[in-house]
Structure 1
C-alpha cells in the first residue's frame, strides 16, 4: 500500500483522505499500462523496426490519446489540488503518484510511533543512466521525496530548502531499492532530516536535507 492503513495511519501529505474506489483502482491500472508502454517504447530498436509497423503503433497511440482525452478531466474542476481525492502526492506526484505514469512509483510506508519511515521502488529502463544503472538524477529526485517523507514522525512538515546527497555505489535497473528516512532535529521553522537508499542491504546513497515550514 502506498498510504498508511487503518488505525496506524499518520496524517501527512501522502495519505489518502478516502479509500481508493474501484474506479480509482481502474485509473491506477491505466497509469500502470502507460508506464509499461513508456518502458517498451524506450527499448524499441528503431534500426530493425519496419517503418509501417512504427507508423501503425503511432496511429494506435494517437487513437489511445483521443480516447483518454475524451474522458472527464480534472482540468474542468481546477486541477488536482481542487479535488480532495486527487490532492495527495501518492495519487498525482511524479515520484510516488499511483495515477502518474511518470512515477516509478515510490511506495511509501510509515507507522505511528516509529521514528523511521520506509519506501521501496523498482526502476525500469525508462530511468536508466549508465548501462543497466539508475540515472543519478532520478535517485536525487527520489531521495528528495523520501527526505520530505522523513519529516512525518516529527509532525513538522516543510518544503525542501537544501539537499546534500552522496551516491556511494550504482543502483541496478530492475532491482528493488529500499529507502528509509527520519528526522534529526526540529528548530523553529527548520526540520533536518536524513535518508538512505539500500540495495540488498548495502547502502547505495545517503542524503540529508533542511526543510522549511512556511510562515503562518
Structure 2
C-alpha cells in the first residue's frame, strides 16, 4: 500500500478512527446482547453486507496500512491501541525520552476471561505493549524476546486501569524493561507486573524480516549509538 501525503493520511486517520469506535461499540453490543434469535439472524445478514463493502478494496497480509507510520511504530490497526481496530481495548499511551511509558485503559466485556475479570492474556498484552513503548522511547528498537508476567490480583472489567513501564540499561542490542498494572483509584495495589527483554534487529536483518512490506521499517531496529554493531 503506497504511503499517503501527510494531509491525506491525517484525513483518512480521522475516518478510520470513527469507524474503529463504531465497530468497538458493535463488538461490545455483540458480546453482551440477548436479543431474540431472529434479530441475530437479521443483524448477521447486515454484517455480511458491510463486510463485502469493506473487502471491495483491501490490503494483503504483508502490506502496511496507508494510515500507519512504521518508522515511528504507529499502527492504526494494532489490536492493543489501534484507533481503527475493532478489537483493541483501546489503550491510550504516552511516553517520555527518559524511557518511561504510561497507558490508561478500561477493559470491556469483549476481553473477558473469568466472569467479570480481564483475560490473563489481555493483561499480558497490555504490559508487553507499554514495555515495548518505554524501550522505544529510550531510543532503542526491539522485538519482545522474553516476557515474564506475575498476576498479583484479579483484574476487573470496567475499571479504569493504569499501566506504567520503565526501560532499563541497554546491553548491546538488548534492553530490559519493567512494568506494572494498577487500578487508577488504587495505585498502591499492584494487580500485575512484568519484566521484558527486547532485542533490536540489525538494519540488515530488519530489511529481510520486513522485506514483504515494501516499506522502510525503523521502529524495531537498533537506532542510536548505544547499539553495539557486533553484538
Q: TM-score, normalised by structure 2?
A: 0.75
Measure the CA separation in 1 of the matches of 2:37 and 2:176: 54
Superposed counterparts of 1:176-187, under 5 Å: 176-187=160-171
Measure the CA separation in 2 of the matches of 1:165 and 1:107: 21
Note the alpha carbon deviations across 1:171-202, whole angstroms, 9 max, x for none: 11111111111112101121011111111213
Unpaired segments ≥5 residues, structure 1: 1-16
Partner of 2:199: 212
Measure the CA separation in 1 of the matches of 2:37 and 2:102: 46
1:54 CA drift (Å): 1.6
Partner of 1:107: 92
Check the 8 A contact 1:92/1:98 in 2, yes or no: yes
Measure the CA separation in 2 of the matches of 1:154 and 1:23: 30
Measure the CA separation in 1 of the matches of 2:43 and 2:194: 42
Superposed counterparts of 1:126-165, under 5 Å: 126-165=110-149
Partner of 2:37: 51
1:84 CA drift (Å): 6.6
Unpaired segments ≥5 residues, structure 2: 204-231
Corresponding residue SS for 1:185 = coil
Superposed counterparts of 1:1-216, under 5 Å: 18=6, 21-45=10-34, 49-70=35-56, 72-75=57-60, 79-80=63-64, 83=66, 85=68, 87=70, 88-112=73-97, 114-199=98-183, 200=185, 201=187, 202-216=189-203
1:97 CA drift (Å): 1.1
Tell me whether 87-96 or 170-179 shows the greater mean CA deviation: 87-96
C-alpha spacing 1:137/1:44, structure 2 compared with 1 (3 Å): same
Q: TM-score, normalised by structure 1?
A: 0.80
